[in-house]
Structure 1
Amino acid sequence: MHVRVATRRNRDGTPVRYLQLTHNEWDPATKTSRPKVLHSFGREDQLDRDAIKRLVASLTRLLDPTTALAGTTAAGADGLAFTSSRPVGGTVVLDALWRRLGIDTVMTRLLTGRKRDPRTERVLFALVANRALAPGSKLAAAGWVNRRTHINGLPETSDDACYRAMDWLLEIAPDLEREVFWQVATLLDHEVDLLFFDTTSTYFQTDEPDPPVARDTHGRPVPDPPPATTEGAATTEGGTDTAAGDTASEGVGFRTFGKSKDSRDDLPQVVIGMAVTRAGIPVRVWCWPGNTTDSALIRQAREDMRDWTLTRVMWVADRGFSSKENRRELRRGGGHYIIGEKLRSGSAEAAAALSRQGRYQHVRDNLQVKEVRIAEDERFVICFNPEQADRDAALREIMIGKLTALIDGTDTLSATKRAELRGRISTMPGLHRFLRTTPGGLLRIDKKKIAAEANLDGKYLLRCSDPHLSAEDIALGYKQLLQVERGWRDMKTTLELRPVYHRLEDRIRAHVILCWLALLLVRIVETTTADTWNRIREDLQELHVGTFEGPAGTFRQRTELTTAQRDILTKLGIDPPKKIVELGPPPATS
C-alpha cells in the first residue's frame, strides 16, 4: 500500500497533481501487478493536511509503539532532536499507589457534576508527589510539574490551579479520609485494631498571631457564633481546651502562641494530631489552633473515627493524654487504651505502683516489665530498661557535679548573694531539681531527691484498660508509639511540612492534608519494600523520560530499568512503565 501521484494537465498546459492511496493487486490473467485505487485525496495543492495528520495519528494507535516509532522516525530521522529529559520513576510509583488506594476514584466521583477543572485530581496528585520528591512552595510545585518531572495526564499546571485544587481538597477531606482508612484496613490488609495517637506543633515566621475567631468544640471557625459564655468552658495551663465541652470556645486565632514542641514559644503555631496503625501507616490527621492543649484532643480523634472502626480499637497515647476524662471517653463503646503515666505527677496511683515489690520479667532485648494491680478496672505495667537506667544515672551525676560546683563555698556569701544564685539556678530545671535550701538559707544538694530520682532510672509507667492483654503486649504496644514520632520527624524533614508558605487557615489545613497523603504513600512504599524512602527515591529518580522532536512528530521514551528499579517495582506489585510513553504529531506551523 502506497501513495501514488497522478498528474493531469490543464488546457493551458499547467500540470495538476492528484494524490491517491493505492494497493497493488496481482492479475492472474495478465500475470502482472495492477494498482487499485483505495482512496483519492484530491488535488495536492488543495490537500487537507490537518485531516492527513489525524488519519496518521489514528492509524498509529493500532500499531505497537516501537513499530509506530520506527515508521515515523524513518521518515524524519535527519531532523530528529533530543530536547529534554525528566525523572519519572518516583511519580510512576506514587501514582500507582494513589490509584491503588482509590484516591483518584474518590476525587473523580466527587468532581462529577461540579464546575471544576477535570484535571483537579491530577493537580492534587502532583502536589502530593511534590512533597515526597522535591518539596517546596506551591509556586515551586507548579514549576516542578512544568519543567522538572513527567506526570501522566498533567503536562503542565499553574500556581493558581494549585491553590484552587487545595481549596477543593479541604471540602472533600471527610470523604477522602474515610476512603483512605477503609482502603488501608481492607485493600492493603493492615491491622487497624491498634491506633497510635500523638500531636506536634509547627511554627510560623511571623510576629503577630491571627485575629481571634469564635470556634466550635473541634477548633473550627463558627460563622455565626452564639453569645459568649464561660459555662462549661474547659481551660488548662498554657492554652484553651478547644476540643472539649459542648459550648463554643472563646475566640482564638488559628496561628497563635502556645506551648511549642519545637521550643519556639516566641512564634505563633498550630497544633497537628495524627493517628497511625501499628505498621506505621498514618490514617488520619487533624489541625487545631496553636494554643490547644493535648488533654482533650484524643477525645475528638476518637469521636471522629467512631464510625470508621472495623473492630474494637485499642488507642495508644503518650503521657499528655492520661486525664481521667480521656480514659473514660476511650472506654466508651467497648474500646480500650494503653496510656503512659507521668512518674513525677505525684498521683497516688503512680506512687502506689512504684512502691510495690516484685520481680521484673524479661520481655525482649533490653526491656523488662512488672505488672501491678491497684484498681479493678485498670492495670499498671512498670517498664524497665537497664541501659537507659545507666544513662539516666550518668546524666544525673553530671548535673550534680555542675550543681556542686555552683554552690561550693556559698556559705560565706551574704543572704542576698545566695538568693541571687538560687534565682539563677531556678532557671535550670535539670539542676534546680536537686537543690535544697536550709531554714537558714544555705544551699545544699538534696540527697533525698537524688535517691527518689535513682528509683526512677530507666523506668516508665503504663496504664491499660484491657483485661486480656499480657504485660509484654502492653509494653511492646506502647513502644510502637515511636512510629508516630518517626512520622512527625519525616513530615518535618523529608516532606518539609515547615516552612508553611500560607497564611489563610483553610490553606494551612489543606497543606497539612497534602503532607499526610505524601507520608501515607511513602510509608506504604517503606513497609512493602523494607527499605527507606530516601534510598528508594534515589533509585527511582534515575529512571527518566527523554523527549525527542522531529519533522515526523514528538515521542517520549523512558530509559532502561536498572536492577534496583525493577526490584522495587516487583516488591510493590507495579508494572514497569511502557518504553514508549507518548507519541504525538509534529507541532502545528502557522
Structure 2
Amino acid sequence: KKIWDDHLHLNRKFKDIQHRQTKAKFDLNAVVSYLCFLKILDPHSVFYSFGDQDGFLGAPVQGIGLDSYYDSYDYLFEHKDSIMRFFNRSINNQLGKTKATLIFYDVTNVYFETALTDLECGRQQMDFQDRLQEEVQLAYENGELDAACFDKEGRLVPSQKTDDFIKKIQAQKIEYLRMRGPSKEHRFDLPLTSIALVINEEGIPIDFYVYAGNASEFKTMAASIESLKQKYNVKESIVVADRGLNSAANLKMLQSNDLGFLMAQKVSNLDQKTTKAMFDPEGYVPIIKQGEQVARFKVVKDWTKKGKRKAEDTKCTLVLTFDKKRQKRDLAVLEVWKQLVLKKQSQGVKVKPKSSGWASIAKTSEKTEARIEGIDEETFEAKRRLAGYAALVYKNAPNCQETNAVPNGRLAATYHELNQIESCFRIMKSHLGLRPMYVRNSNHIKGHILICVIALGILKLLQWKLNKSGTPLTIPEIIRALNSATTVPIKSGDELMFLQCSRPQNIRKGLEGLNQEELKAELAERRKQPNQ
C-alpha cells in the first residue's frame, strides 16, 4: 500500500479518474488497489476476492457491493492507456530514468476453461462496433470506400469494394477475442487470448496489448509498436525479441519507426555462404570464464536479411555464436527425439512432411501424412552439425548516435536478458492468477490483465528496492514473506496487542448479496443458535 500511495501515487490517479471521468458511486481506488494486492497475496476470482475482504486490517473495501467490483473492470478497460502512462512516469521517477534504451517484447497466450469460442457463442468484443465504425470512416477518408458503397442510412451496400473491406476487417481479427489458436501451453482444445508484453531492462512492464487467440504474432507486432510509439514517443531504442517475431517485414517496420532491433535468427535458415562462415573457426572471438573457453562469437557486418519481397530486405549485423553447454543440451535433445521416433515407428504412428520437433527427423516415403519408416539420417546429421550454434541479428536505431549502440561483445548477453520477459509471463501465470480467467466479456478480460500487469510492476519495483538495499529476494520469496505476516489485534484496556494467527475464514460465503448491516444482523443471529 505504501508503494501504491507514496511511491507510485496510484491512489491519486484513480481518485482523479473517478472525479473527472467516471460515474462510479463507489471508491474506485479502494476496489482496484484491493484487487491488485490480492493478486499478489492470494489470487482468485473476483467473487472469491469479495468474500475474502474481512480478513484484512482496516476493512479496506467495507460497504462496497460485489457489482462494483465488476464495474471497476469496465473503468480499467476504458482508462487503460491513461493508467499505464501514469504508471510509467511514476516508475521512471522511482528508477531515476527518463526512458528505456532497451525494450523487451514478447507474446504469450492464456486459456479459458470453457468449451466454446466467442465466435461459437456469438459474443463480439464489447468495443467491436466502435472499432468497426472507425475503420469504415478511415476507409472512406482514404478513398477505399466511396459514397456509392453506402445507402441513405449510412449502411454498407454489397459490392466488390465492400466485400474486400469486410475481408480486410476479418483478417484483422478484431471481432472476437477468445479463439482457438497455437497454444504456448499446448491447450489447443480451449479458447485463447494473446497478450503482447513490453518490459524495460529492470523487468518492469511498460505496456501490454491484447489480441484474439488466433491472431498471428508476426502481424500484431506492427500494431503494438505503432501504439507504443504514439503513447510514449519511443524512438532511438532497441527492441529485443525472440526468433518467433523475426521476419524481414518486422525488422523493416522497426527501422521505419526509428527503432533498432536485436533478435534471434534461425541458423538452419542461413544461406550456404553464411553457413560455411559459421562452421569456419577463423574469425571467432573466444569467451573465457574462469580461465576456460566456454563459448565464442563471430560478427558478420552488412549481412542481408531477405524478405518475401525485395523491398523488405534489411542490411544488419549478424552475430554467430557457439556455446559448449548449448551443444551438449542440443545433442541430448536429438537423442531423446531419436528414441521417440523409433518408439512411434513401432506403434505405427503417422506424421506429416515438414513437421517440427521430433517428427522432423522421422523418415516417410509419402508426400502426405504417412507411417514412420525410421530415422531420416540426412536431417538428423544436419541437426547434429548445428548443435551448439545460434545467431542474432542486430541493427541500431536509424539516426541514433553510435555511443548508444550495443558493443559486439555484449550482444549475446543482452539478448539473454530476454529471459526476463519469460519470467514475467511465468510470474503472472503461476503467482498472480493471470489464468485461468473467470471473466468472459472482452472489457473485463482486458481489465483483469491490467490488474495483473500493475501487480507485476509493484512486485518488480519492490524486488528492485530490496536488491538496492542489499536484501535480494526472489518473487516467490517476497510473496511468501508477505503472506506470513498474518496478525490479529486484541484490545486490553487502552493497550493493543498484535498476535500472529492463521488466515481467518470467509464469513461472507453464501451471503455475498447482503450489505454491511444485513451481514452483521445475520452473523449475530447465527451466534444465538446452539452449536450442533
Q: Is the 8 A contact 2:301 2:317 kept in 1?
A: yes
Q: Is the 8 A contact 1:370 1:382 kept in 2?
A: yes
Q: Determine the structure 2 residue equivalent to 1:507.
A: 444
Shift of 1:556: 6.5
Matched, 1:335 2:262: no
Shift of 1:396: 1.7
Q: Is the 8 A contact 1:407 1:443 kept in 2?
A: yes
Q: C-alpha distance in 1, partners of 2:406/2:186?
A: 37
Matches within 5 A, 1:233-312: 242=172, 252-307=175-230, 308-309=232-233, 312=236
Q: C-alpha distance in 2, partners of 1:332/1:517?
A: 30
Matched, 1:390 2:322: no
What percentage of residue pairs aligned between the two structures are identical? Answer: 20
Matched, 1:142 2:47: no
C-alpha RMSD over aligned residues: 3.6
Shift of 1:219: 12
Q: Determine the structure 1 residue equivalent to 2:108.
A: 200
Matched, 1:521 2:458: yes
Higher RCO structure, 1 or 2 (CA under 8 Å, sep 6+)? 2
Greater strand proportion:
1
Q: C-alpha distance in 1, partners of 2:223/2:26?
A: 34
Mean Cα deviation higher: 131-140 or 191-200: 191-200
Shift of 1:400: 2.9
Per-residue CA distance 1:131-185 (angstroms, 9 max, x = gap): 000111111111222x211357534533212111111111111111111122222
Matched, 1:182 2:182: no
Q: Determine the structure 2 residue equivalent to 1:450.
A: 380
Q: Determine the structure 1 residue equivalent to 2:299.
A: 371
Mean Cα deviation higher: 323-332 or 482-491: 323-332
Q: C-alpha distance in 2, partners of 1:220/1:348?
A: 50
Label 1:557 to 1:153 Cα distance change in 2 as closer, same or farther (>3 A).
farther
Partner of 1:463, secondary structure, is: strand
Normalised by the size of structure 1, how large is the TM-score? 0.66
Q: C-alpha distance in 1, partners of 2:130/2:316?
A: 34
If you compute each CA radius of gyration, which structure gives the higher value, 1 or 2? 1
Q: C-alpha distance in 1, partners of 2:55/2:455?
A: 19
Q: Determine the structure 2 residue equivalent to 1:413.
A: none
Q: C-alpha distance in 2, partners of 1:454/1:316?
A: 28
Q: C-alpha distance in 2, partners of 1:241/1:351?
A: 36
Q: Is the 8 A contact 2:192 2:213 kept in 1?
A: yes
Q: Is the 8 A contact 2:3 2:458 kept in 1?
A: no
Q: Determine the structure 2 residue equivalent to 1:133.
A: 41
Shift of 1:549: 6.0
Q: Determine the structure 2 residue equivalent to 1:85.
A: none
Q: C-alpha distance in 1, partners of 2:235/2:185?
A: 36
Shift of 1:322: 1.2
Matches within 5 A, 1:66-81: none
Q: C-alpha distance in 1, partners of 2:278/2:128?
A: 37
Normalised by the size of structure 2, how large is the TM-score? 0.73
Q: C-alpha distance in 2, partners of 1:319/1:542?
A: 41
Q: Determine the structure 1 residue equivalent to 2:164.
A: 230
Q: Is the 8 A contact 2:349 2:372 kept in 1?
A: no
Label 1:144 to 1:437 Cα distance change in 2 as closer, same or farther (>3 A).
closer
Matches within 5 A, 1:159-174: 159-174=66-81
Q: Determine the structure 2 residue equivalent to 1:71.
A: none
Q: Is the 8 A contact 1:219 1:288 kept in 2?
A: no
Shift of 1:214: 7.7
Partner of 1:362, secondary structure, is: strand
Partner of 1:161, secondary structure, is: helix
Shift of 1:309: 4.5
Q: Is the 8 A contact 1:378 1:463 kept in 2?
A: yes
Shift of 1:217: 13
Unaligned stretches of 5+ residues in structure 1: 1-93, 243-248, 409-419, 561-586
Count, aligned residues? 442
Q: Is the 8 A contact 1:545 1:557 kept in 2?
A: no
Unaligned stretches of 5+ residues in structure 2: 137-155, 157-161, 305-314, 397-401, 467-471, 501-519, 521-532
Shift of 1:358: 3.1
Q: Determine the structure 2 residue equivalent to 1:40.
A: none
Matches within 5 A, 1:315-464: 315-345=239-269, 351=275, 354=278, 358-363=282-287, 366-375=294-303, 377-403=315-341, 421=348, 423=350, 429-436=356-363, 443=373, 445-464=375-394
Greater helix proportion:
2
Q: C-alpha distance in 2, partners of 1:378/1:225?
A: 35
**Amino acid across the alignment from 1:533:** I
Q: C-alpha distance in 1, partners of 2:258/2:198?
A: 19
**Amino acid across the alignment from 1:400:** K
Label 1:112 to 1:328 Cα distance change in 2 as closer, same or farther (>3 A).
same
Label 1:241 to 1:180 Cα distance change in 2 as closer, same or farther (>3 A).
farther
**Amino acid across the alignment from 1:287:** V
Matches within 5 A, 1:106-117: 106-113=13-20, 114-117=22-25
Matches within 5 A, 1:12-23: none
Partner of 2:190, secondary structure, is: coil
